[in-house]
C-alpha cells in the first residue's frame, strides 16, 4: 500500500516516513501543496496524510477542490487546531482527523484502516485500444488474451494506459514502480519495458519516445 505524507516540519515528516515504512507501507513525502500536486499527478495512493496548515495554504481547501473533481483517495488530516468546528470541517472533506501531538503508532494504525477502506471502493477496468487492465482483479489482457505480468510490469502498464496515448516520462515510471531510489544510470526500466513488449506481443503497441519516455500507440 502506498501513502503520500504532506508535512512541512522536517523532523515530523522524517519520523512519519520511517514509522510508515517500518510498518510495511511504501511512502512518498511532500513539504507543500505544489509538491503534493505533482506527486498525485503521477502516482496512485491508497491514503494521503495532510498537515492541515502548510506554508502554501490550508490543505483542507486543497482537498475540498480535489473532492469536487471526483478524487476519492482517503485523507487523514494532521493539525494542532482542536476546536470542534475545526474537526467538523476536517471530517467534511477528509476521512480522519488527528490532533497534534499524537502517538505515531496511532497514526500508523489509522492510515492502515484508511487504506483498507479504500480497498473496498469499486475499481475500474482501464482500456486503450485492445489492451485492458482490470485493476480490481489485477488482471491484464490484450485482445482478450490474458497476460502474466509482474507487480512492477502491471504498475507501469497501468500508468501508460492512464496517459491515454500521451508520453510518460522515464522518471515518472520509475517513481511509480520502484519506491526505493534507483540510480539514474540504472537500466531496470529498460529491462522491464523489453519484457512488457514481449508479453504484449505483436503488433507493437508500446513505443519509445526518444529523450522523453514511453507511450502506447
| Per-residue pLDDT tens digits for 48-96 | 999 988 988 888 889 888 887 778 889 999 988 777 777 776 777 788 8
Contact call for residues 30 and 49 (beta carbons, < 8 A):
no
What domains lie within the chain, and their CATH numbers?
A: 2-119 (3.40.50.2300), 125-216 (1.10.10.10)
The partner residues of 207 in beta bridges, in order of sequence, read 215
Q: Where are the beta strands (DSSP E) in the chain?
A: 2-6, 26-30, 47-51, 53-54, 57-58, 75-79, 96-99, 125-128, 131-134, 139-142, 145-147, 168-169, 206-209, 213-216
Mean pLDDT of 90-108: 85
**Residue 184: what pLDDT?**
56
Total residue length of the chain: 217
State the chain's mean pLDDT as an integer.
Answer: 85
**Residue 207: what pLDDT?**
94
Angle at 141 between CA 140 and CA 145, to 5 degrees: 140
Mean pLDDT of 138-152: 86
Q: What b/e readout covers 20-29, taking b as 16+ CB neighbours within 10 angstroms?
A: beebebbbbb
Phi, psi of 81 (to 5 degrees): -85, 115
CB neighbours of residue 9 within 10 Å: 13
**Rounded CA gap, 215 and 62, in Å?**
30
In 3D space, the residue among 216, 196, 195, 200 whose CA is nearest the CA of residue 143 turns out to be 200
Q: How much of the chain, in percent, has pLDDT values that exceed 90?
A: 34
The partner residues of 215 in beta bridges, in order of sequence, read 207
**Residue 122: what pLDDT?**
47
3 state DSSP class of 183:
coil
Amino acid at each position: 500500500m502506498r501513502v503520500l505524507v504532506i508535512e512541512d516540519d522536517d523532523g515530523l515528516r522524517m519520523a512519519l516516513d520511517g514509522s510508515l515504512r517500518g510498518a510495511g507501507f511504501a511512502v512518498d513525502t511532500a513539504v507543500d501543496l505544489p509538491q503534493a500536486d505533482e506527486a498525485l499527478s503521477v502516482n496512485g495512493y491508497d491514503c494521503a496524510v495532510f498537515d492541515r496548515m502548510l506554508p502554501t495554504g490550508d490543505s483542507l481547501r486543497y482537498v475540498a477542490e480535489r473532492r469536487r473533481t471526483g478524487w476519492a483517495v482517503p485523507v487523514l488530516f494532521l493539525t494542532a487546531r482542536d476546536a470542534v468546528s475545526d474537526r467538523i470541517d476536517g471530517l467534511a472533506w477528509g476521512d480522519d482527523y488527528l490532533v497534534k501531538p499524537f502517538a505515531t503508532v496511532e497514526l500508523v494504525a489509522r492510515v492502515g484502516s484508511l487504506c483498507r477502506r479504500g480497498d473496498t471502493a469499486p475499481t475500474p477496468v482501464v482500456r486503450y485500444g485492445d489492451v485492458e487492465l482490470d485493476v480490481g482483479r489485477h488482471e491484464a489482457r490484450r485482445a482478450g488474451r490474458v497476460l502474466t505480468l509482474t507487480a512492477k510490469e502491471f504498475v507501469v502498464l497501468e500508468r501508460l494506459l492512464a496517459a491515454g496515448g500521451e508520453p510518460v516520462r522515464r522518471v515518472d515510471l520509475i517513481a511509480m514502480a520502484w519506491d526505493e531510489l534507483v540510480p539514474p544510470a540504472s537500466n531496470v526500466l529498460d529491462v522491464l519495458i523489453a519484457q512488457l513488449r514481449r508479453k504484449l506481443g505483436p503488433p507493437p503497441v508500446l513505443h519509445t519516445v526518444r529523450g522523453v519516455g514511453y507511450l502506447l500507440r
